[in-house]
Amino acid sequence: MAGRPGPPRLDLDLHLELDSVAEVDELRRALLKARAAELSEVRRRDVRLTAGYGDATNREVMDDEARRAQMRFDVLTRLLEALDRAEPTARPDPPR
């Protein structure tokens, strides 16, 4: 998010070798499932917070947990976007 305060953003370069396009597809499905689970968690915690569950201490903990779930959702979204931008390259197997 542009303009957000805090420490500088980090760049993380990953290299992942997969055996087939099918594995890329399954990786994407797994990331989508994880992101959906986090979105569900964000919504569940938001409902609890807006409905007034718990005392002040519990609400503070729930708010922190909701922020972390939102962060996981956001990171998974960026990871999926990076996967979509990636251009797989086929390489021959090394000689044995």
Q: Angle at CA 83, nearest 5°, toward 68 and 90?
A: 150
Give residue 14's Cα distance to chain centre.
15
pTM of the model: 0.71
Confidence at residue 82, expressed as pLDDT on a 0 to 100 scale: 93
Enter the DSSP assignment of 11. -
Q: Average of pLDDT values for 17-27?
A: 93
| Residue 27 pLDDT exceeds 90 | yes
Q: Angle at CA 88, nearest 5°, toward 86 and 12?
A: 40
pLDDT tens column, 39-95: 998 888 777 677 666 666 666 767 788 888 899 999 999 999 999 998 777 777 666
pLDDT tens column, 30-47: 999 999 999 998 888 777
Domain ranges of the chain: 21-85
One-letter amino acid identity for 34? A
